[in-house]
Each structure stands twice: as C-alpha cells, then as structure tokens.
C-alpha cells in the first residue's frame, strides 16, 4: 500500500465573510509529482500556507508523513523543502553563502553541510557562480539559486510554487529536468504552475481547484476523459457547401462544426476513427482539401472546460487568495 505523504481533510479557511477554502480535501502519495492547478483566487497558495502551518485555518485537519501538522512540528518541517514564487534569498550573501545559510537551518554538522551545499550547487548548475551576489544573476540563475536553497538539506517533500515564472526557455527546461531528477531520487513533489504544458509534462497526478474547492482530480489522461471534446479535426477547404457540412455533422461522435470559408473545424466526442470518416466524406464528393490535422485535448482544454476560466499570470493580481 502506498504511503500518504500529505493528507488534508475538510479544510476551511475564511477571511471575514470570504471563504478561501471550502471543505477542501486532498491526499498526496509518496513518490508523486502532484500538480495543484487553479485560476487566481482559487485557493492554491492558501492551501500551501495552511499545509505548512504558516496560516491558521478555521476547520479541518492536516497530516504530513502521518503526523498532525502544527506550527511547532519542527521534526516534520525539517523534512520539507519550500520554493515559493517570490525568490527568497539574501542579497548581501553570495550564491554559496545563501545555500550554506539555508542548509545550516537544518544541518549543523559542518562537514555534512558542506557536502550537501556542494551537491545542491552541482545539481542546479551554479558551480561557476559561487562568488556571485544575487543582483548579478539572471532571472533563470536566480530561480535556480532559490531551488538550491530549498533542496540542499535533502527534504523528503518539496513544494514548488510557480518555480519557472518569468525565466527563459533554457532555464525552464533545466528546472523541470531538475524537478524530475529530484523525484527519481525519492522526493515527493507538490507543484503549482500557470504553464499547463509544464504540468502535463511532469506531473503524475493533478488536482484542479476553483473557489476553494477541489473540482477535479486524476492523471492527465483521466482528466481529459472528463470533458466532452476528445478530438478536434481541422481541414483547410474552400467553398464547402452546407449540404456537405450537414453530412459531416451527422457522422458518429461529431457534435459540432465550425466553418469560416477556408477552414472547417470538426469537434468530436469519443470514437477512434473520426478523421477517416471525415475524409471519406470529402472523397465521396471529390472535394479537394489542403492541410488536414487532428488534435487531442490538452490539459488547458480540460482546465477551461471545467473552470470556464483562463489560468492567468498572477502579475498585478492579489496574492491573498491565490
């Protein structure tokens, strides 16, 4: 039986009359990379802050590693690494000194701490920048420093809140590869991001939140099966008659079509040979077509259908309930 690393039951958090978390429950198993998604104001960051006992809540229970989490659960906290969206390093300290400081909060033995610091440096690729101060680092390097500070003490549970926001593609790829490597080394990961392709790429299971509630949970494939649209077929074709369009919409599993005079889009729900059937209609009527392609739903499609909202960038928005 798989061990449950995080168990949240019936969590309620109010800000006055506003309910930020509405009887929210969640279980995260050991060894998962668990994605926590939701639009701004959905309760993601509030959940994380409650999970870490950084924020008091009104009702519910939180257990980590099978123990009740409280503000003084230091034996639990030392097994957790936290990398939040806002970079939290000391500008007065060098790269090495920053990592050494944060590692020293958990590991007092100097020899062991030095070994852990250098392993974190190697892991994040910061070896050339040990004597640099944070203000001299690029955005991507600064994010990697933030991660190094959060993982140097070898935590069993790592929480990453928007770790790749505002970094270049190369740094983003390195960060994602690093997260997957940490997971292979045994760490359980909780991951929030506004980049759906990242979540789809690395997360083993995903929960979608909205208005403080969990509205969907599962693997990416399980989530995709929850929505109506399972395939979108696009055909470049000129002068398509209404009669042919009507014939296509009568095909099995087709529930809607759109045509702008140059491009026909066919929306399907279920089925395995939808593209073949659509092309057969064009062949029967000897209609010449241009480019044809079929797209399966993405995690972003799932998110939009379930929540009806764009997963927006947080810049400029309130952080209180995010």
- Give yes or no for residue 315 having a pLDDT over 90: no
**What pLDDT, in 10s, does the model give residues 246-291?**
999 999 999 999 999 999 999 999 888 999 999 999 999 999 999 9
**What pLDDT, in 10s, does the model give residues 64-82?**
999 999 999 999 999 999 9
**What pLDDT, in 10s, does the model give residues 199-235?**
999 999 999 999 999 999 999 999 988 889 889 999 9
- Confidence (pLDDT) at 167: 79
At 105, list the tokens: 């909060």
Contacts (Cβ under 8 Å, ≥6 apart) of 91: 133, 134, 135
At 164, list the tokens: 């790749």
pLDDT category, 240, cuts 50, 70, 90? very high
- Confidence (pLDDT) at 322: 46
- Confidence (pLDDT) at 81: 94
- Give yes or no for residue 89 having a pLDDT over 50: yes
How far apart are the C-alpha atoms of 292 and 283, rounded to whole Å?
13
Which pTM was predicted?
0.82
At 218, list the tokens: 């599962």
Strand partners, 15: 18
- Of 113-117, 160-164, 318-322, which range is least confident? 318-322
Cβ burial, residue 114 (10 Å; 0-12/13-18/19+): middle
All domains of the chain in start order, with CATH: 4-224 (3.40.50.300), 231-296 (3.30.70.100)
């Amino acid at each position: 039986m798989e061990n449950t690393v995080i168990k949240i039951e019936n969590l309620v958090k109010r800000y006055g009359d506003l309910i930020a978390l509405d009887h929210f429950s969640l279980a995260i198993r050991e060894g998962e990379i668990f994605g926590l998604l939701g639009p701004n104001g959905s309760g993601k960051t509030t959940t994380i802050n409650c999970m870490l006992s950084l924020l008091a809540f009104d009702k519910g229970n939180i257990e980590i590693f099978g123990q009740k989490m409280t503000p003084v659960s230091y034996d639990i906290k030392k097994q957790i690494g936290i990398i939040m969206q806002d970079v939290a390093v000391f500008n007065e300290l060098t790269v090495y000194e920053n990592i050494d400081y944060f590692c020293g909060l958990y590991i007092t033995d100097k020899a062991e701490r030095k070994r852990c610091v250098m392993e974190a440096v190697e892991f994040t690729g910061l070896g050339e920048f040990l004597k640099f101060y944070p203000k001299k680092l690029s955005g991507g390097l600064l994010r990697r420093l933030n991660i190094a500070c959060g993982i140097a003490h070898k935590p069993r549970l790592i929480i990453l809140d928007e770790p790749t926001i505002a970094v270049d593609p190369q740094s983003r790829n390195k960060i994602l590869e690093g997260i997957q490597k940490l997971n292979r080394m045994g760490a359980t990961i909780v991951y929030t991001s506004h980049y759906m392709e990242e979540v789809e790429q690395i997360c083993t299971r995903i929960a979608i939140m909205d208005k403080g509630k969990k509205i969907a949970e599962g693997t990416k494939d399980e989530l995709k099966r929850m929505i109506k649209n399972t395939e979108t077929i696009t055909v470049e074709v000129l002068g398509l008659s209404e009669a042919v369009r009507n014939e296509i919409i009568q095909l099995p599993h087709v529930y809607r079509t759109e045509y702008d005079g140059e491009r026909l889009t066919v929306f399907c729900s279920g089925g395995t040979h939808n593209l073949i059937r659509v092309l057969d209609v064009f062949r029967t009527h000897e209609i010449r077509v241009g480019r044809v392609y079929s797209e399966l739903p993405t995690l972003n499609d799932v998110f939009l259908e379930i929540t009806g909202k764009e997963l927006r960038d947080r810049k400029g928005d309130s952080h209180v309930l995010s």
